[in-house]
Amino acid sequence: MAVREVLQVGDELLRKKSKEVKIFDERLEEILDDMWDTMYANNGMGLAGPQVGILKRIVVMDVNNMRLELINPVIVECHGKDVEQEGCLSCGKIKGNVERPMYVTIKAQDRYGYSFTISGEKYLARCFCHEIDHLDGILFIDKMIKNKE
């Protein structure tokens, strides 16, 4: 296990679309373990593959005392609206309000390839959306609500 470098905004890898994981092997487990180490070393609550330069659809999240590994996560349902502040380990000290769905249900696989479905509201729903955006090269700063002058 190892702490990897977290890429920062401006790095073009953060803007690439990540590829689906098709092989669930030891290499994947190694990447996930490194992502946990990297996320906790940076006091983060979520980390997506591209943030450590790995263009695969992989996310780790520790929200509401729940540790989640999401492989190939897809949003299958969402509704409502919620506006709250976000930040990101790849965006330094920048914080800003982003509108997200209030309720989100996702489908994903675990590190062994087993599929599961999980629903979340408010902060958890927000984290699902934020992290899945990373897999499509989207950062929260792209969606930040600008303050009116």
Task: Between 96 and 113, name the residue whose CB sits nearer to Ni ion.
Answer: 96
Among residues 26, 29, 77, 131, the one annotated as catalytic is 131
**Whole-number minimum distance, CB 16 to Ni ion, in Å?**
15
Q: What is the 3-state secondary structure (H, E, C) of 133-147?
A: HHHCCCCHHHHECCC
Site string for Ni ion, 57-96 (x = CB under 5 A): -------------------------------x--------
Q: Which amino acid is at 30?
A: E
Non-local CB neighbours of 113 within 8 Å, separated by 6+ positions = 24, 71
CA distance 149 to 93: 22
121 tagged catalytic: no
Task: Between 70 and 88, name the residue whose CB sits nearer to Ni ion.
Answer: 88
Task: Between 25 and 41, name the residue whose CB sits nearer to Ni ion.
Answer: 41
**Whole-number minimum distance, CB 46 to Ni ion, in Å?**
6
In degrees and rounded to multiples of 5, residue 7 shows phi and psi of -65, 145
Residue 86: closest CA among 122, 130, 124, 128: 130
Site string for Ni ion, 13-52 (x = CB under 5 A): ----------------------------------------
CA distance 95 to 126: 14
| Nearest residue to Ni ion on Cβ basis | 88
Binding-site ranges for Ni ion (CB under 5 A): 88
User: Which residues are designated catalytic?
Assistant: 131
